[in-house]
Chains A and B, each alone.
Chain A
Amino acid sequence: MTEPSVPIGGQIPVEQGASAAPSVAPPGLTDATVEAGLEIKVRSQWDYARRRFLRHRLAMAGLIGLIILFGAGIFANYIAPYSFEQIDLNNILSPPTFAHNHFFGTDEIGRDYFSRVIYGIRTSEEVGVFVAVLSTFIGLVLGAIAGFYGGWIDNLLMRFTDLVLTLPFLAILLTAAALLGEGSQWRVSFILAVLFWTGTARVVRGIFLSLREKEYVEAAKAAGAGDMRIMFRHILPNTLGPVVVSGTLAVATAILIEAALSFLGFGIKPPTPSLGVLVAGGETNPQQWWLTVFPGLTIVLIVLCVNFVGDGLRDALDPTQRRVRA
Chain B
Amino acid sequence: MLTYITRRILYSIPVLILSTFLSFVFISYAGNPTALLRQNPHFSAVTLRLMIHQQHLDKPVVVRYWYWVESVFTQKLGVSLQTFQPIWPDLVRTGGHTLQVIVISEVLALILGVAVGIFSAIRQYSFFDYTFTTISFLGFAMPTFWLALLLQILFVDIYLKWNVRIFYTSGLNNPGKGAWSIDRLQHIALPVMTLCIISFALYSRYMRASMLDVINTDYVRTARAKGMSEWHVIMRHVFRNALIPIATIAALNFGALLGGAIVTETVFSLDGIGYYFIQKLQNLDLYAVMGYLLITAIAIIVFNLIADILYGYLDPRIRYD
Contact = CB atoms under 8 A, between A and B. Distances in A.
Touch between chains A and B, by CB atoms below 8 Å: yes
Interface of A: 162-163, 165-172, 174-176, 178-180, 252, 256, 259-260, 263-266, 276, 279, 282-283, 286, 289, 292-293, 296, 299-301, 303-304, 307-308, 322-324, 326
A300 B137 CA distance: 10
B57 to A, nearest CB: 17
Q: When A and B form their complex, which 3 residue pairs have the shortest distance between CB atoms, in order from nearest? A: A170-B259, A296-B146, A179-B30
Contacts of A264: 145, 262-263, 266, 278
B259 A303 contact: no
A200 B298 CA distance: 26
Given A168-B258, A169-B255, A279-B146, A175 B293 contact: yes
Contact of B213 (A168, A266, A299, A322): A322
Interface stretch (B106-114, B147-155, B186-194): B147-155
Interface string B150-162: 1011001100000
B262 A166 contact: no
Contacts of A178: 281-282, 284
Interface stretch (B1-9, B18-26, B72-80, B230-238): B18-26
B99 to A, nearest CB: 14
Contact of A175 (B124, B259, B289): B289
Contacts of B300: 166-168
B244 interface: no
Contact of B153 (A169, A171, A292): A292
Interface in B7-35: 15, 18-19, 22-23, 26-27, 30-31
Candidate in B30, B136, B301 with the most chain A CB atoms within 10 angstroms: B30
29 contacts: A166-B15, A166-B304, A168-B255, A168-B300, A170-B259, A170-B263, A171-B258, A171-B262, A171-B277, A171-B292, A172-B293, A175-B27, A175-B289, A176-B26, A256-B143, A259-B145, A260-B144, A260-B263, A263-B145, A279-B145, A289-B153, A292-B153, A300-B138, A303-B140, A304-B137, A304-B141, A308-B137, A324-B209, A326-B137
Given A266-B281, A292-B153, A168 B30 contact: no
B281 to A, nearest CB: 5
Given A171-B259, A286-B156, A163 B142 contact: no
Nearest to A293: B150
Given A263-B263, A323-B209, A307 B141 contact: yes
B79 to A, nearest CB: 20
Nearest to A275: B143
A292 B149 CA distance: 8
Given A168-B255, A304-B137, A296 B149 contact: yes
Candidate in A162, A171, A266 with the most chain B CB atoms within 10 angstroms: A171
Interface of B: 15, 18-19, 22-23, 26-27, 30-31, 124, 133, 136-138, 140-146, 149-150, 152-153, 156-157, 205, 209, 212-213, 216, 252, 255-256, 258-260, 262-263, 266-267, 277-278, 281-282, 284, 289, 292-293, 296-297, 300-301, 304
B255 A167 contact: yes
Given A163-B15, A179-B27, A168 B259 contact: yes
Candidate in B23, B142, B143, B263 with the most chain A CB atoms within 10 angstroms: B143
B294 to A, nearest CB: 10
Contact of A163 (B19, B144, B152, B157): B19
B70 to A, nearest CB: 22
Contacts of B209: 323-324
B120 to A, nearest CB: 10
B267 A283 contact: yes
Candidate in B138, B281, B296 with the most chain A CB atoms within 10 angstroms: B281
A169 B256 contact: yes
Contacts of B293: 167-168, 171-172, 175
Contacts of A307: 137, 140-141
Nearest to A253: B140
A263 B143 CA distance: 10
Given A260-B143, A260-B263, A279-B149, A170 B137 contact: no
Given A163-B15, A266-B281, A289-B153, A303 B141 contact: yes
Contacts of A166: 15, 19, 255, 297, 300-301, 304
Contacts of B133: 326
B109 to A, nearest CB: 18
Contacts of A170: 256, 258-260, 262-263
Nearest to B133: A326
A322 B210 CA distance: 11
Contact of A324 (B23, B156, B212): B212
